[in-house]
Amino acid sequence: MAMTDVLSAEDIKKAVGAFSAAESFNYKKFFEMVGLKKKSPEDVKKVFHILDKDQSGFIEEEELKFVLKGFTPEGRDLSDKETKALLAAGDKDGDGKIGAD
């Protein structure tokens, strides 16, 4: 399954482009721009599974660094600071990874 099976290619391009500068990533704005806020829980889980490259059922810090590339190959890598901020926002139980729920 490709990201464009769930999200609009145009929305992905705009969202990734909006955060192309280093240290500019804002996960709340990004997920809104890419259209995830309007998607069903099932579609959000589909996106999660696409981003879970090792299919472990979790998105770990190393996978988060490349989250923009998970949406499009033209995406940049997140900085360590951006990665840690995204992990902190999604890691509800403090185990260092983000689960599908």
- 71 assigned to a ligand binding site: no
Q: Does residue 37 lie in a domain region?
A: yes
Residues 98, 59: contact at Cβ < 8 Å? yes
Domain count of the fold of the chain:
1
Residues 6+ apart with CB under 8 A from 84: 61
* Six-digit token string for 30: 């990004």
Domain range spanning residue 84? Answer: 7-92
- 63 assigned to a ligand binding site: yes
- 54 assigned to a ligand binding site: yes
83 to 5, 39, 43: CA distances (angstroms): 25, 23, 23
Instruction: Identify the pLDDT of residue 101.
Output: 80
Q: Domain of 44: which CATH number? A: 1.10.238.10
- 32 assigned to a ligand binding site: no
pLDDT digits (tens, 9 = 90+) for 44-91: 999 999 999 999 999 999 999 999 999 999 999 999 999 999 999 999
